[in-house]
Amino acid sequence: MKHRNILALSVLTLMCPLASLADDHAAETDADKPNEFTLAAQLLTRGEWRAGGLPVNEAEAETKPEQHALFVMERMRLTAGYTRQALSMKVTAQHSGVWGQSGKGTFNLYEAWAKLQSRQGLFAQIGRQELVYDDQRIIGNNDWAMAAASHDVLRLGYDGDQHRAHLILAYNQNAAGTYGGSRYVNGAEPYKTMQTLWYHYQPRQLPLQVSLMAMNVGTQSELDDDDATMNQQLVGTYVKANPGKFNLEGSFYYQLGRNEYDLPIHAWMTAVRGDYRFDDRWTAYGGYDYLSGDKNYNVPPAGGFGLQRLTEINGFNLLFGSHHQFYGAMDFFYVTTYYGGLTPGLQNLYVGGKWRPNQKLTLETSYHYMATAVKVTDADKSLGHQVDFTVSYSPLRDVKLAASYTFMAGTPTMEKLKRADGDRFLHWAWISATFTPQFLKVKW
């Protein structure tokens, strides 16, 4: 009996610390674990039918009058993320292309960055990363495009409760060479150097946000035997307010400096938009965009040559924005350049509405009246009337289905700009499926 008591006491003595360890382990939460690893994917497939909108190829139009384009594009991303207290890292591999494309599309490293952040809000982030600011009109990830947009930059900043300030620094080269100076031509980015300062203020007591942006973009000179870097600047502001059921936005940006041909730049844009939410289902909106254009804009007739002496650039350059969400869904005004790389600018007056009958389904329609900002030689400013219809449905939290149709009744000016053929009716439709599952999330 004595031996049994001693054995029982020994077992209890051994069990006590084990139980204590078990309690400590049970009390530990995921918030107490310093390391976190996630693995996620995105598969985006979109089929498009285009009948007009992009520049008309007159040579092909004579032999191939049926200019309707039908194709399917796809993007696949695999993203690995890691965080540990002040350190975070992200790597995203991406493949994008058209079904059946020669070479099977493009594979690249879309993101690869590391970030250090203090508890006081200071941070430093270096590597290839998305840049998304304000409404993405000037700097955005351009997610509509299959390749999207990321930048090789060093980003320094402070993210506080009411104040945020970011400094972005970039310097691009074609290769790590010994000779050749610092020339940068035909590179992956449209700029050689870029410096951006962004400040954002959001007071606690007011439904208001104000941003200020100053940017310098350096491009390689296109003049013969000139190794200089031409610098152009942008300054502007973005304001957003949410009083009650209203959502109001406004922006203004001005460009100056010199372009790659050493021409002075004087261009500007402004935009205003207002949304009113009747309830959780119905929202109405309207707005106006104005982007300045190059003066005395002229397109030569078929078979002719256009000679124009420019003394300055007045067409606004949207730089690195997410263009698709502005200027109508047909999306051809700032996707491709106009004749000679110049632009007649754009005026976009629009109204629209959204209806969400439930959390999974959204229907939207909008009307746009569009015109050039400057008068085109021997033509009016009016470009035409456009109507957009879009429906999106999310049967699961990581699955989204969407479809859209756009119709535009163009004008003789649209035809003169080589954006429409003789009947001046433009059509565009697309349907897409997006899958964004998270495969793994581990904390330890």
pLDDT tens sequence across 114-139: 999 999 999 999 999 999 999 999 99
Q: Which of 98-102, 331-335, 385-389 has the lowest mean pLDDT?
A: 331-335
pLDDT beyond 80 at 27: no
Asked whether the beta carbons of 337 and 270 are under 8 A apart, the reply is no
Encode pLDDT of 149-203 as tens digits: 999 999 999 999 999 999 999 999 988 876 767 888 888 898 999 999 999 999 9
With a CB cutoff of 8 Å and minimum separation 6, the contacts of 243 are: 207
d(CA 440, CA 121): 28
More confident residue, 11 or 324: 324
Please report which confidence band the pLDDT of residue 429 belongs to, taking 50, 70 and 90 as the band edges: very high
Percent helix, strand, coil in the chain (nearest 5)? 10, 50, 40
**Mean per-residue pLDDT over the chain, rounded:** 88
More confident residue, 336 or 102: 102
Encode pLDDT of 37-84 as tens digits: 999 999 999 999 988 666 766 555 555 555 678 999 999 999 999 999
Closest by Cα among 82, 90, 126 to 109: 90
pLDDT beyond 80 at 330: yes
pLDDT beyond 50 at 21: no
Token pair for 118 = 């203090």
Coil/strand/helix, residue 369: strand
Identify the pLDDT of residue 6. 43
Q: Estimate to the nearest angstrom the gap between the alpha carbon of 415 and the chain centroid.
A: 29
Closest by Cα among 232, 230, 196 to 214: 196
Please report which confidence band the pLDDT of residue 352 belongs to, taking 50, 70 and 90 as the band edges: very high
Please report which confidence band the pLDDT of residue 29 belongs to, taking 50, 70 and 90 as the band edges: low
What secondary structure letter does DSSP report for 339? G
Token pair for 416 = 């003169």
pLDDT beyond 50 at 1: no
pLDDT beyond 70 at 310: yes
d(CA 392, CA 361): 6
